[in-house]
Amino acid sequence: MRTSIYKFIEDPIAFKRKLVSWGQQFREITFLDSNSFSDEYSRFDCVLATDAFTSIKTDYDNAFDDLKQYQQTAKDWLFGYLAYDLKNDTEHLKSDNFDGLDFPDLFFFQPKKLFLLKEDQLEIQYLNMCDDEIEEDFENIINYKIETNVPADAVLIQQRISKQHYLDKVSKLLAHINQGDVYEVNFCMEFFAENANINPLEKFLKLNEISQAPFTVFFKNNKQFLLSASPERYIKKEGDILISQPIKGTSKRFLDPVEDELSKNNLAQDPKERAENIMITDLVRNDLSHTAQKASVIVKELCGIYSFLQVHQMISTITSKMDLKYAPVDALRTTFPMGSMTGAPKYAAMEIIEKLEETKRGLYSGAVGYFSPNGDFDFNVVIRSILYNQEKHYVSFSVGSAITSLSIPEKEYEECLLKAKAMHEVLQ
């Protein structure tokens, strides 16, 4: 059982920074920030869950069954992630590529302490065992002094795949597409740093400041960190409604308003970008149909254009009504990994990805989010993200783009560098 109390927050933006900073003292943290982005599906502006009472950590083997049991038994708030390689639980696939990060494939925890912020109203929910700490903790957060100008070592970022090697691999992907093996493949490459010592909170605050993405996450599990400026929702469950919002299609932002508007309009009309978005929308429709009531899968918006600080993006919204015979975790099992990070057909795309990519994706292109006590959930797509294993002193971020028959290898490479820009800037 939880004790709930409400507080008025005078300056929500300053409070959010204090909240995530205060949370650093705990072994487990999930901090979610919408950065004031609001649509009809938004529930909170910011959430902090911290200090695990119970948790689950596992590799991909039977992972979804284990999560289902955990969620149905706990019937409480659960926060955590699904790594990309959970594909090996649902399909006859494997992951043998290099992994410098060594994160578990699945990790969720039941927080003792939970903060839910909407505009200037804060709800604090503590498990009864520690509810006598609410007032003292709130005072400590309000009075928290954030360290600024934290000294940091230089981080030497290396590129796992050279430009020429990348162009060669995209040519191989185009050959697969021309042979009819696949229509579209999301191909990714890693940037990394070894012997790296970074301050994860300081890097996160900087990344969030320059990106202000709607599905931003700071995640910590002891010595393992995710700093994510994701613009993309993977899937949300609200009652019996599922909402998926894949992103496919990217263009640059410009300081000049005229040039910026032109970039936005060009994205909206680009046949290649529209084709890749429509392919993935179709794949998501098919994924949602596995748990849907008959004739309930609807494309609510096709190829909508949304602007973020770093880029313009093309986003579609697909919804369905879940058949009541399915549990919440079944909706994740039948849609994961998200189509925007695989390609179409999904199985063939994942097989080719494994052969041509040189790094195990791990948490990159997985999902972070939460279950509420009634079984609703909301998960992002882990992109535009920095991953850090403090114990191994290894920093990693990956970027990718969708390869279709209309792809020009040089332009795909440029798109990857555009997506990598914010992470590069933060780590310098």
- What does DSSP assign to residue 293? P
**Burial bucket for residue 133 (CB in 10 Å: 0-12, 13-18, 19+):** middle
Q: Which residue has the tokens 């910011």?
A: 46
Can 232 be counted among the known catalytic residues?
A: yes
Range with lowest mean pLDDT among 169-178, 245-254, 370-379? 245-254
> Averaged over 86-112, what is the pLDDT?
96
- The active-site residue, picked from 28, 190, 202, 232, is 232
* Residue 131 to residues 5, 75, 103, 113, 206, Cα–Cα distance (Å): 10, 19, 32, 9, 33
* Residue 69 to residues 32, 73, 327, 363, Cα–Cα distance (Å): 25, 6, 10, 22
For residue 282, pLDDT beyond 80: yes
Structural domains of the chain ordered from first start: 2-145+158-427 (3.60.120.10)
For residue 150, pLDDT beyond 70: no
* Residue among 34, 21, 2 nearest 236 (CA): 34
Cβ atoms of 34 and 160 within 8 Å: the answer is: no
> Averaged over 113-133, what is the pLDDT?
97
Q: How many angstroms separate the CA atoms of 34 and 38, rounded? A: 8
Dump pLDDT digits (tens) for 326-352: 999 999 999 999 999 999 999 999 999
Q: Which residue has the tokens 């995710």?
A: 226
Range with lowest mean pLDDT among 96-100, 168-172, 309-313? 309-313
H or E stretch at 325: none
For residue 38, pLDDT beyond 90: no
Q: How many angstroms separate the CA atoms of 26 and 213, rounded? A: 25
Q: How many angstroms separate the CA atoms of 20 and 201, rounded? A: 8
Two tokens, residue 227:
């700093």
Q: How many angstroms separate the CA atoms of 113 and 26, rounded? A: 10
Q: How confident is the model at residue 152 (pLDDT cuts 50, 70, 90)?
A: confident
- The active-site residue, picked from 16, 220, 248, 321, is 248
Q: How many angstroms separate the CA atoms of 53 and 57, rounded? A: 13
> Averaged over 267-287, what is the pLDDT?
94
Q: How many angstroms separate the CA atoms of 380 and 262, rounded? A: 29
Q: How many angstroms separate the CA atoms of 363 and 383, rounded? A: 9
Pairing of strands 46-58, 106-118: antiparallel
- What does DSSP assign to residue 1? -
Question: What's residue 309's pLDDT?
Answer: 87
* Residue 15 to residues 118, 144, 145, 343, Cα–Cα distance (Å): 12, 9, 11, 40
Alpha-carbon Rg for the chain in angstroms: 21
Question: What's residue 411's pLDDT?
Answer: 95
Dump pLDDT digits (tens) for 381-419: 999 999 999 999 999 999 999 999 999 999 999 999 999
Q: How confident is the model at residue 310 (pLDDT cuts 50, 70, 90)?
A: confident
The strand pairing partners of 143, in sequence order, are none
For residue 420, pLDDT beyond 80: yes
* Residue 232 to residues 55, 316, 323, 331, Cα–Cα distance (Å): 26, 10, 25, 18
Can 209 be counted among the known catalytic residues?
A: no
Q: How confident is the model at residue 37 (pLDDT cuts 50, 70, 90)?
A: confident
Percentage of the chain lying above the pLDDT 70 cut: 99
> Averaged over 16-35, what is the pLDDT?
97
* Residue among 90, 96, 164 nearest 357 (CA): 96
* Residue among 189, 159, 211, 201 nearest 423 (CA): 211
Dump pLDDT digits (tens) for 56-93: 999 999 999 999 999 999 999 999 999 999 999 999 99
